[in-house]
Amino acid sequence: MSNTPHKKEEESRSSMERSSEIIGDQHIGTSYQTPMREDAFDMSDGEKIKKIEKHFKGIMETLGLDLTDESLSGTPHRVAKMYVKEIYSGLNPANKPKLTVFENKFAYSEMLVEKDIAFHSNCEHHFVPIYGKAHVAYMPNGKVVGLSKINRTVQYYAKRPQVQERMTIQIAQDLMDSLHTENVAIVVEADHMCVSSRGVNDTHSWTVTSFYGGKFKEDPSVKNEFLEHIRAKK
């Protein structure tokens, strides 16, 4: 009888570990919003860099690396700074690009397509790169946005631990909110190194996700025009 609580605890832990492995291996997202703690921004960037540096140093030492070597001695700080200031900078709302919209003075009502937007992200399940390109389109509803802002929006949502499906929806939702229209379409094509460099080690497959809103969803001819623009060569 004395072993029963301990056994139940082990079974519960094993069940959670199995569930975690299934989610990670199948690359399953659990929420539309990026999961964040309420105190995520209580620390400054500098404080985060110091803390990550300490932890990453521990990881390297645990792996058996000699941090007295000149080539490795600065790696913990470089990685910490890269995490906070670069590849995960999209976690901080302060870094979100402001989508400045303008009056559609030319009364342009046709489709606007920004294609082949290159991005680099990281899989939230294994923290290895996802890289590819995004194709974005919208049909103006009284407002237009500068082309560079579309690229910056893609980069912002890519610069965080991600699931490709979530990133696609986040980009679309941001554009719909800023442009006050549902006539937005997104297609994202990406390679996942959690598939190619580990696990199944498939170096040939790639993943496509999409979002179609408003006329892109309701009218097949509009959707097909967008897809034709994507397929068209320069």
| Active-site annotation, residues | 123-126, 164, 192, 194
Which residues are within 8 A (CB) of 162 and not within 5 positions of it... i.e. 6 or more apart? 34, 121, 122, 123, 124, 130
Q: Which two tokens stand for residue 172?
A: 């679309």
3-state secondary structure of 109: coil
Instruction: Indicate left, alpha or beta for 17 from its phi (over 0: left) and psi (-120 to 50: alpha).
Output: alpha
**Alpha-carbon distance 229 to 214, whole Å?**
18
What b/e string do you get for 21-32 counting C-beta neighbours within 10 Å, with b at 16 or more? eeeeeebebeee
Q: Which two tokens stand for residue 160?
A: 């965080």
85, 156, 177 from 96: Cα distances, Å = 13, 6, 14
